[in-house]
């Protein structure tokens, strides 16, 4: 029945069962992609619940419990009704002038509209008149029958499957051999229970029932009957040997890992992504202790940890000092009485991986990093930006310039040396096998080559920060090379038009820009940002695109976003960045000063006055920029032309306040400098109350505008206070 026909043909009022019951829906499938399982399970359950609530079948406060294991996605929802409550609806038909003729009889147009809704002329006397703009319209009031659970759940299930964030869809045939289905993995079972009753819905060629399956090897029976929606989790755990809740299974893995490590006096490597992935690989976890030959510990621990985590999904164990040990933990999906074969099998599998890592490490150390640098000339970096060798030369030039500014020739020489060698480990066997180790292995090989510690650290650190919240480079050499590397990337790709768009950022330019922002601000580097951007573009040959303004704007956007993430309000950030300081080292202090100023009782009035002054000057100055200092602008005001008492008082107050603010500014006390401006509130208010700025006398008008320019400049040295105005 259509929505419109149900207005008339459904029952006028349908009673809804007061006894709501829990609902359980499970889709049983072949092994789901482990890295996507958590998101798939949450999305399936949430969309299902939202749809049922929107249809009136589930209470607004119904409790949703999602389930996701390697072979199932499920949702348990409390307080679900067998039928949604009826609801009154009102259907606008048409204007009265169109619906009824002069005698009040229905027109053909009205009869046609009613017929489309399943009604006839008999309902005309019951139609309601109501204003509709300037005219009256006819409305059909009726009761829409509540949707039954079977129909509502079918709609919700279809929507949940359609909106799953599936990473990659596959096509498979159904049992009839003809029909095909597109889904993330082949589905083999569908459970839909409202309390103890099966809800007759279908999906992916499956009809709903109450039968599911447990653990492949350890379930009590091949098929499990779920007697009631509320018995789903307990039935799977007790008879199916499955912990269906992703969160509960994850917590159990953490408990077992911690317990097993503690017995050895060790602790497992913390890795949330690995924990999620392993949780998605097992149905009932069983943590076991394994080991490998201690001789492999001669290999850098980053290599061993990476190969165990990435290739085998193992949890390496470290001692109290964070040093890797020869023991590791595995999460098995079976629980045999004698686990020795499982343990020995995993130890046998990991041994060749570790042997490969040791071989790569030994082979790589036979050549110095410096000997690999010429080979970078044969490695393409980007089709329009040349080779890695050419890129290294650009980074060297930028890093050397930054080093000279921060520490003179000695720092410049170290930065140059580190930048020369920073990419050499890309040509090593270890980084070829594990690209995640670039920089890290370069530092190991640099120390093996006898290079200075500052250079080795810089080779490792020049990729930092690698992600949000990552640490910054440890020393000045690393800062120089890291800044140069990121600035070269931004200048290079912006110069050829490879800008990030929307949610697409294939070259991680936002991350590079944020790294520049964090290094400049958190390390309080006394560097001019426009000069840095300009020097990055100068490192490229003639003909490279000039996109300095775009890069600078991009950096300011990342800066503004990052400052807001640190807790500053949008108004505070706008006020500070509007001044456009070339150096960003003092931005935290400026933000703190603005925040303190905003708490003053005089702040709102001064911010509003500042905004008013700015608007007046925009109109009068026609875009002209005055580069004089506030003191020079104050001295340009001609005292003999200050005719009104209010403007004389403002000039005197401005001179006094500016002197106090300037003294505080010179002492580095930005907060006191801004707070000194509070004394200007009364003189500014009196000026605008009593003085006509745009006087008819052009000489008086020019002098009053000079006074306002001086006021504007004095108030906005730390931040543009007008941005704080509501």
Q: What is the pLDDT of residues 361-394, one digit of tens each?
A: 999 999 999 999 999 999 999 999 999 999 999 9
| Mean pLDDT confidence for 334-345 | 95
Task: Note whether residue 577 is domain-resident.
Answer: no
**Model confidence pLDDT, tens digit, residues 213-271:** 999 999 999 999 999 999 999 999 999 999 999 999 999 999 999 999 999 999 999 99
Task: Note whether residue 581 is domain-resident.
Answer: no
| Mean pLDDT confidence for 185-210 | 95
Tell me the pLDDT band of 1, cut-offs 50, 70 and 90: very low
Contact yes or no for 673/593 (Cβ under 8 A): yes
**Residue 203 pLDDT more than 60?**
yes
pLDDT of res. 614:
87
137 and 18 inside one domain? no
| Helices and strands, number each (H, E), in the chain | 28, 20
How many domains does one find in the chain?
Answer: 5
Angle (CA) 695-698-701 rounded to 5° is: 50
635 and 560 inside one domain? no
Angle (CA) 481-484-487 rounded to 5° is: 150
Q: Which residues pair with 142 in a beta bridge?
A: 89
pLDDT of res. 11:
41
337 and 405 inside one domain? no
Q: Which of 334, 364, 394 is the last residue of a domain?
A: 364
**Residue 12 pLDDT more than 60?**
no
pLDDT of res. 726:
63
Task: Note whether residue 321 is domain-resident.
Answer: yes
The CATH number assigned to the domain holding 465 equals 1.10.3210
Closest CA to 146 of 16, 310, 240, 278: 16
Contact yes or no for 361/345 (Cβ under 8 A): no
136 and 177 inside one domain? no
Q: How much of the chain exceeds pLDDT 70, in percent?
A: 96
Contact yes or no for 485/462 (Cβ under 8 A): yes
**Residue 310 pLDDT more than 70?**
yes
Burial of 684 (C-beta count, 10 Å sphere; 0-12/13-18/19+): buried
Q: To which H or E segment does residue 486 belong?
A: helix 476-495
Distance CA 178, CA 187 (A): 16
Contact yes or no for 328/351 (Cβ under 8 A): no
| Mean pLDDT confidence for 60-80 | 96
| Mean pLDDT confidence for 569-594 | 93
- Residue for token digits 């009753």? 197
712 and 600 inside one domain? yes
Question: Among 223-232, 318-327, 558-567, 620-629, which stretch is predicted with the lowest mean pLDDT?
Answer: 620-629
- Residue for token digits 């039928």? 83
**Residue 683 pLDDT more than 50?**
yes
Q: Which of 238, 255, 273 is the last residue of a domain?
A: 238
Task: Note whether residue 571 is domain-resident.
Answer: no
541 and 420 inside one domain? yes
pLDDT of res. 624:
63
Q: Which of 205, 238, 271 is the last residue of a domain?
A: 238
Contact yes or no for 460/440 (Cβ under 8 A): yes
Tell me the pLDDT band of 18, cut-offs 50, 70 and 90: very low
- Domain range holding 36? 6-84+148-238
Higher pLDDT, 634 or 4: 634
**Residue 322 pLDDT more than 50?**
yes
Distance CA 652, CA 665 (A): 20
231 and 275 inside one domain? no
Tell me the pLDDT band of 5, cut-offs 50, 70 and 90: very low
Tell me the pLDDT band of 623, cut-offs 50, 70 and 90: low
336 and 460 inside one domain? no
628 and 554 inside one domain? no
Task: Note whether residue 573 is domain-resident.
Answer: no
> For the whole model, what pTM was predicted?
0.80
Max CA-CA distance within the chain?
106
259 and 295 inside one domain? yes
Task: Note whether residue 574 is domain-resident.
Answer: no
| Mean pLDDT confidence for 507-517 | 96
The CATH number assigned to the domain holding 599 equals 1.10.730.10
Task: Note whether residue 580 is domain-resident.
Answer: no
Distance CA 63, CA 60 (A): 9
**Residue 19 pLDDT more than 80?**
no
pLDDT of res. 8:
45
Burial of 263 (C-beta count, 10 Å sphere; 0-12/13-18/19+): exposed
Written as six digits, the tokens of 482 are 């890291």
Tell me the pLDDT band of 156, cut-offs 50, 70 and 90: very high
Q: Regarding beta strands 64-69 and 87-95, do their DSSP bridges make them parallel or antiparallel, or are they unpaired?
A: unpaired
| Mean pLDDT confidence for 521-547 | 95
What average pLDDT does the chain have?
92
644 and 695 inside one domain? yes
223 and 266 inside one domain? no
Task: Note whether residue 648 is domain-resident.
Answer: yes
């Amino acid at each position: 029945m259509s929505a419109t026909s149900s207005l008339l043909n459904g029952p006028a009022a349908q009673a809804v069962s007061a006894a709501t019951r829990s609902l359980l829906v499970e889709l049983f499938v072949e092994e789901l992609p482990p890295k996507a399982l958590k998101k798939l399970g949450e999305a399936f359950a949430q969309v299902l619940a939202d749809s049922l609530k929107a249809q009136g079948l589930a209470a607004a406060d119904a409790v949703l419990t999602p389930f996701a294991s390697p072979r199932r996605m499920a949702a348990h929802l409390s307080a679900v009704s067998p039928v949604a409550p009826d609801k009154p609806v009102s259907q606008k038909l048409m204007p009265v002038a169109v619906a009824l003729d002069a005698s009040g009889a229905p027109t053909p147009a009205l009869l046609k509209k009613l017929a489309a809704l399943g009604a006839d002329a008999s309902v005309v006397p019951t139609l309601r008149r109501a204003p509709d703009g300037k005219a009256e319209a006819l409305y059909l009031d009726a009761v829409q029958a509540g949707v039954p659970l079977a129909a509502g759940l079918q709609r919700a299930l279809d929507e949940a499957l359609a909106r799953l964030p599936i990473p990659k869809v596959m096509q498979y045939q159904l049992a009839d051999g003809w029909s095909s289905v597109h889904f993330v993995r082949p589905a083999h079972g569908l459970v839909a229970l409202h309390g103890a009753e099966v809800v007759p819905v279908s999906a992916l060629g499956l009809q709903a029932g109450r039968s599911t399956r447990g653990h492949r090897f350890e379930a009590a029976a091949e098929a499990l009957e779920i007697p009631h929606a509320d018995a789903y989790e307990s039935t799977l755990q007790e008879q199916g040997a499955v912990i269906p809740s992703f969160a509960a299974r994850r917590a159990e893995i953490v408990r077992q890992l911690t317990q097993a490590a503690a017995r050895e006096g060790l602790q497992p490597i913390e890795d949330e992504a690995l924990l999620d992935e392993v949780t998605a690989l097992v149905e009932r976890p069983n943590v076991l202790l394994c080991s490998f030959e201690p001789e492999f510990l001669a290999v850098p621990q980053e290599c061993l940890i990476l190969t165990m985590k990435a290739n085998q999904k193992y949890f390496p164990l470290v001692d109290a000092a964070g040093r890797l040990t020869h023991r590791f933990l595995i999460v098995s999906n079976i629980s045999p009485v004698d686990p020795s074969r499982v343990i020995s099998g995993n130890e046998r599998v990991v041994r060749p991986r570790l042997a490969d890592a040791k071989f790569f490490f030994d082979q790589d150390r036979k050549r110095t990093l410096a000997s690999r640098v010429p080979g970078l000339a044969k490695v393409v970096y980007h089709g329009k930006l040349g080779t890695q060798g050419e890129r290294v030369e650009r980074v060297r030039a930028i890093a050397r310039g930054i080093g000279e500014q921060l520490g003179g020739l000695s720092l410049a020489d170290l930065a140059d040396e580190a930048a020369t060698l920073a990419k050499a480990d890309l040509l090593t066997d270890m980084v070829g096998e594990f690209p995640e180790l670039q920089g890290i292995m370069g530092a190991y090989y640099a120390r093996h080559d006898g290079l200075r510690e500052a250079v080795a650290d810089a080779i490792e650190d020049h990729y930092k920060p690698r992600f949000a919240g990552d640490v910054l480079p440890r020393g000045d050499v690393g800062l120089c090379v890291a800044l140069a590397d990121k600035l070269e990337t931004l200048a290079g790709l912006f110069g050829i038009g490879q800008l990030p768009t929307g949610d697409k950022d294939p070259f991680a330019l936002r991350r590079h820009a944020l790294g520049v922002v964090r290094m400049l601000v958190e390390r309080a580097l006394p560097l001019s940002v426009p000069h840095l951007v300009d020097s990055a573009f100068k490192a490229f040959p003639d003909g490279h695109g000039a996109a300095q303004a775009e890069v600078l704007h991009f950096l300011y956007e990342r800066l503004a976003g990052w400052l807001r993430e640190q807790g500053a309000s949008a108004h505070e950030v706008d006020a500070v960045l509007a001044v456009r300081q070339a150096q960003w080292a003092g931005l935290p202090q400026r933000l703190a000063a603005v925040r303190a100023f905003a708490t003053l009782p005089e702040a709102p009035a001064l911010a509003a006055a500042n905004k008013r002054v700015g608007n007046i000057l925009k109109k009068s100055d026609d875009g002209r920029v005055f580069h004089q200092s506030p003191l020079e602008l104050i001295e340009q005001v001609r005292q003999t032309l200050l005719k009104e008492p209010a403007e004389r008082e403002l000039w005197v107050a401005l001179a006094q306040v500016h002197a106090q603010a300037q003294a505080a500014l010179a002492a580095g006390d930005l907060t006191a400098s801004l707070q000194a401006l509070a004394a200007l509130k009364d003189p500014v208010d009196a000026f605008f109350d009593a003085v006509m700025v745009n006087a008819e006398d052009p000489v008086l008008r020019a002098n009053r505008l000079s006074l306002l320019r001086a006021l504007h400049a004095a108030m906005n040295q730390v931040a543009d206070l007008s941005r704080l105005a509501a």
